[in-house]
Structure 1
């Protein structure tokens, strides 16, 4: 009887191990499918990648700073021209 019980439990344990392995495989496959569908959705929506967004934002900040510096320089030059005209 003990040998039959042990075989039953051994077979049951093997079945559970196989089921757990199969469930893990299904989980990985489902995650992979979900990830690929999400990536496709984002591509179709023309969503920009974070790295691209950050690069463009830095370029815009630099352009804004340069624009402000040029505006200040232009104002100074215009003021200098006005001073020279008054002489």
Structure 2
């Protein structure tokens, strides 16, 4: 059996309204924080994972070529010093 006391009914309505308002404020604060973070991070130079992996592969190939060239130079130096 529900109470028909208008004071209690008004209090319940007030509590429900306050809970809804707090939830809305929380959502708005979270969205604002996300937007500010996006703005702050937007000025930074980030690369995608694909770009990073491509440059990493290029560096590995360059290292291999340098090793081959160093070996050739060492062999040529050995020939000329004989």
TM-score normalised by the chain length of structure 1: 0.63
Which runs of no fewer than 5 residues in structure 1 stay unpaired? none
What CA RMSD, in Å, does the superposition of the two structures yield over aligned residues?
3.1
2:20 aligned residue: 21
Counterpart selection for 1:47 from 1, 25, 44: 44
Cα distance between partner residues in 1 of 2:78 and 2:22: 83
More contact order relative to length (CA 8 Å, sep ≥ 6): 2
More helix by share: 1
CA distance in 2: counterparts of 1:38 and 1:65, whole angstroms: 35
1:58-86 per-residue CA deviation (whole Å, 9 max, x = no partner) reads 2332122111211222234445656787x
Specify the alignment match of 1:65 in structure 2: 60
- Provide structure 2 residue ranges, at least 5 long, that are not aligned to the other structure: none
Q: Size of the alignment, in residue pairs?
A: 81
